[in-house]
Amino acid sequence: MAPRFTSILAAALAVRQLATAQNPDDTADAHPKLTTYKCTTKGGCVSQDTSVVIDWNYHWFHTADWNSCTTSTGGVNATLCPDQATCSQNCFVQGTTNYTSSGVSTSGDTLTMYQYTRNAETGAYGNASPRLYLLDPTGKNYEMLQLNGKELTFTVDLSQLPCGENGALYLGEMDKTGGRSELNQGGASYGSGYCDAQCPVQNWRNGTLNTSGANYCCNEMDILEANSKAIDFTPHPCTTTDCDRAGCGYNPYSQGNKGYYGPGGTVDTTKPFTVVTQFNTNDGTPTGTLTSITRKYLQNGVLLPPAVSSGDILTTELCNALDSTAAAFGSLPGMGQALARGMVLTFAIWNDATGYMNWLDSGNNGPCNATEGNPELIIKQNPTTHVVFSNIRWGDIGSTFNSGGAPGGTTSAKPVSSTTLATSKTSAVTTSKPVTTSAGTKTSAASSKTSSATGPTQTHWGQCAGTGYTGPTVCATPYTCVKQNDYYSQCL
Ligand SMILES: *[C@@H]1O[C@H](CO)[C@@H](O)[C@H](O)[C@H]1NC(C)=O
Ligand SMILES: *[C@@H]1O[C@H](CO)[C@@H](O)[C@H](O)[C@H]1NC(C)=O
Ligand SMILES: *[C@@H]1O[C@H](CO)[C@@H](O)[C@H](O)[C@H]1NC(C)=O
Ligand SMILES: *[C@@H]1O[C@H](CO)[C@@H](O)[C@H](O)[C@H]1NC(C)=O
Ligand SMILES: CC(=O)N[C@H]1CO[C@H](CO)[C@@H](O)[C@@H]1O
């Protein structure tokens, strides 16, 4: 699932009103800076100066004399935009200069996103529901993440998201340039080119006017769709004409472990936690076939036990069992091909006025009742609901986190701990978190034990083998070393 177009339209209208109330100018988009980290087993983690851009539909489209090119109902003015070329001549996209008014702020490697923003004059809250994309260090194009055979790790604070909210971090196979062309010269730097596995029909397609009414389908990998009560990850592969819209979602609650995730759970959502997602291939290489996706959680620097005793591992077989249409769209191998080509990292916070997000957190999926996710209740009871993402890293399997017992991160100690120490000071919400979870930071008793003991043994959940791994290979009694892939084996 992905944010529905209706909520985006409402948000676009809200933003447009704000934009028209400012002194309009053809200003460049502000692109809030968001540091991210690329990691390798050998070289450790290196920070990069990336930034985010808000989706195209949240920008203001106007004529040279500052009349709106969109209508009061969210459509495009047909007089100004009878066809793509005329529209491109008549209308301009304005850069977003004040991201705070769109519910977005960043600091160092931390991104905060609000569902609602407060109007300073009236005091009323209005829907913001921002959706953002990660830009590469040039700021012109999207950063393309190639995660087949790799892993992605980030820390998230979902404590302020009630039932019905969705703090989302996902990948979509959008065009790297956002469809930049003669008619769309801004492209990715103005957030154009959105597509996902729900195949949305939008006013703009790849940044040019959608005159045909065609939709735009793209492979989508939902890494996190969650609030404080429920969590899900879902591959949505596509064929050339359609996508696996339902997807084979993996949710610890529907897997039978109802106390695993939530306030006071094994993953205690009253505090930030770290989410690791590993895309394992048949031969352990980025060109191999995607055969499983492993989920791990860390909190307070410690790798937590999985929700299911055999590990939170979504295999192709499990995917096909959870979702009868997965195989027809390529299932995990198809998803892996998109992950190998490269996908755009997307952040969103949204809610759902029609289904109240029941598919995520109600019935078999979580403890919320069928009606409490109604946005009308959320805006009354939790108007400041927000999500905080931080410390986003990706790279070789095992290189982006320290499992609290594995000394595998020794080579990455320098770049990681210094940068995260510096940035963690700027964030009140995640203060000590990035430091304790960063690879190679030796703050836990467990890690010093494993590296100094003679005839070292690895602790429960720790790494015990894998290409490039140099730590203890014997597991403490009664655990045994279980191979996950060529790059990672774990004491289970
Ligand atoms: C479309 O734009 C024209 C020219 O600015 C304006 O006169 C007209 O009222 C607009 N139509 C709508 C439906 O907004
Ligand atoms: C940005 O918007 C926020 C809230 O809408 C406002 O408080 C702030 O003054 C604005 N910043 C600038 C630089 O205009
Ligand atoms: C989007 O734009 C890119 C770059 O021009 C192009 O390769 C791609 O086919 C376009 N996709 C659609 C659906 O228009
Ligand atoms: C759903 O949960 C809310 C909040 O706990 C509660 O106020 C409401 O009565 C519940 N509704 C039903 C139908 O159980
Ligand atoms: C601006 C524009 O032409 N939008 C169209 C996109 O496609 C839908 C579905 O056919 C139309 O309703 C819109 O008018």
Q: What is the CATH number of the domain that holds 235?
A: 2.70.100.10
The answer to whether residue 100 scores a pLDDT higher than 80 is yes
Cβ-contact 315, 291 below 8 angstroms: yes
Kindly indicate the confidence band of residue 488, based on its pLDDT and cuts at 50, 70 and 90: low
Assigned domain for 450 exists: no
Domain termination residue (choose one: 346, 371, 396): 396
Give residue 214 CA to ligand 5 midpoint distance, Å: 8
Residues 6+ away with beta carbon under 8 Å from 210:
201, 202, 203, 204
Nearest CA to ligand 3 atom 4: 179
Give residue 341 CA to ligand 3 midpoint distance, Å: 15
220 within ligand 3 shell (Cβ under 6 A): no
Query: Active-site residue numbers?
Result: 220, 225
Cβ neighbour number for residue 195 with a 10 Å cutoff: 25
- For residue 202, give the ligand 5 atom closest to its CA: 6
Assigned domain for 483 exists: yes
Nearest CA to ligand 2 atom 14: 98
Q: Across residues 225-234, what is the average pLDDT?
A: 98
Tell me phi and psi for residue 307, to 5 degrees. -70, -30
208 within ligand 3 shell (Cβ under 6 A): no
Tell me phi and psi for residue 358, to 5 degrees. -60, -30
Name which residue leads in pLDDT, 362 or 10. 362
Cβ neighbour number for residue 315 with a 10 Å cutoff: 16
Nearest CA to ligand 5 atom 9: 213
Assigned domain for 402 exists: no
Could you tell which of 228, 356, 369, 382 is best to mutate to test the pocket of ligand 4, judged by most ligand atoms within 8 Å of the CB? 369
Q: Which of 126-140, 190-204, 432-446 has the lowest mean pLDDT?
A: 432-446
Could you tell which of 211, 212, 215 is best to mutate to test the pocket of ligand 5, judged by most ligand atoms within 8 Å of the CB? 211
Assigned domain for 28 exists: no
- Shared-domain flag, residues 335 and 473: no
Domain termination residue (choose one: 344, 369, 396): 396
- Shared-domain flag, residues 468 and 340: no
**One-letter amino acid for residue 114 of the chain:** Y
pTM of the model: 0.82
pLDDT at 186: 92
The answer to whether residue 405 scores a pLDDT higher than 70 is no
Kindly indicate the confidence band of residue 484, based on its pLDDT and cuts at 50, 70 and 90: low
Domain termination residue (choose one: 351, 381, 396): 396
- Shared-domain flag, residues 159 and 277: yes
Assigned domain for 79 exists: no
pLDDT at 456: 64
How far apart are the C-alpha atoms of 46 and 31, rounded to whole Å?
Answer: 21
- Shared-domain flag, residues 195 and 326: yes
- Shared-domain flag, residues 367 and 484: no
Q: Exposed, middle or buried by CB within 10 Å (0-12, 13-18, 19+), for 139?
A: middle
Is the bond preceding 478 in cis, omega lying within 30 degrees of 0?
yes
444 within ligand 5 shell (Cβ under 6 A): no
The 3-class SS string of the chain reads: CCCCHHHHHHHHHHHHHHHHHCCCCCCCCCCCEEEEEEEECCCEEEEEEEEEEECHHHCEEECCCCCECECCCCCECCCCCCCHHHHHHHCEEECCCCCHHHCEEEECCEEEEECEEECCCCCCEEECCCEEEEECCCCCCECEECCCCEEEEEEEECCCCCCCCEEEEEEECCCCCCCCECCECCHHHHCCCCCECCCCECCEECCEECCCCCECECCEEEEEEECCCCEEEEEECECCCCECCCCCCECCCCCCCCCCEECCCCEECCCCEEEEEEEEECCCCCCCCEEEEEEEEEECCEECCCCCCCCEEEEHHHHHHHCCCCHHHCHHHHHHHHHHHCEEEEEEEECCCCCCCHHHHEHHHCCECCCCCCHHHHHHHCCCCEEEEEEEEEEECCCCCCCCCCHHHHHHHHHHHHHHHHHHCCCCCCCCHHHHHCCCCCCCHHHHHHHHCCCCEECCCCEEECCCCCCCCEECCCCCEEEEECCEEEEC
Name which residue leads in pLDDT, 455 or 298. 298
- Shared-domain flag, residues 472 and 386: no
Closest ligand, as measured to the CA of 121: 2
Residues 6+ away with beta carbon under 8 Å from 247:
1, 197, 222, 234, 235, 236, 323, 326
Predicted confidence (pLDDT) per residue in 110-153, tens digit: 999 999 999 999 999 999 999 999 999 999 999 999 999 999 99
Predicted confidence (pLDDT) per residue in 332-343, tens digit: 999 999 999 999
**One-letter amino acid for residue 130 of the chain:** P
215 within ligand 3 shell (Cβ under 6 A): no
Counting residues of the chain whose pLDDT is more than 70, the rounded percentage is 80
Mean residue pLDDT of the chain comes to 84
Residues 6+ away with beta carbon under 8 Å from 231:
224, 225, 251, 252, 261, 267
- Shared-domain flag, residues 178 and 296: yes
pLDDT at 473: 80
Assigned domain for 305 exists: yes
- Shared-domain flag, residues 362 and 484: no
- Shared-domain flag, residues 111 and 187: yes
Assigned domain for 183 exists: yes
Predicted confidence (pLDDT) per residue in 262-318, tens digit: 999 999 999 999 999 999 999 999 999 999 999 999 999 999 999 999 999 999 999
- Pocket of ligand 4, beta carbon within 6 A: 369, 371-372
Assigned domain for 168 exists: yes
- Overall number of domains in the chain: 2
How far apart are the C-alpha atoms of 261 and 67, rounded to whole Å?
Answer: 49
Name which residue leads in pLDDT, 232 or 430. 232
**One-letter amino acid for residue 132 of the chain:** L
The answer to whether residue 446 scores a pLDDT higher than 90 is no
- Pocket of ligand 2, beta carbon within 6 A: 98, 100-101, 120
Tell me phi and psi for residue 29, to 5 degrees. -65, 140
- Shared-domain flag, residues 338 and 486: no
Q: Across residues 373-393, what is the average pLDDT?
A: 98
Q: Which domain range does residue 476 map to?
A: 462-491
- Shared-domain flag, residues 217 and 325: yes
- Shared-domain flag, residues 384 and 485: no
The answer to whether residue 383 scores a pLDDT higher than 50 is yes
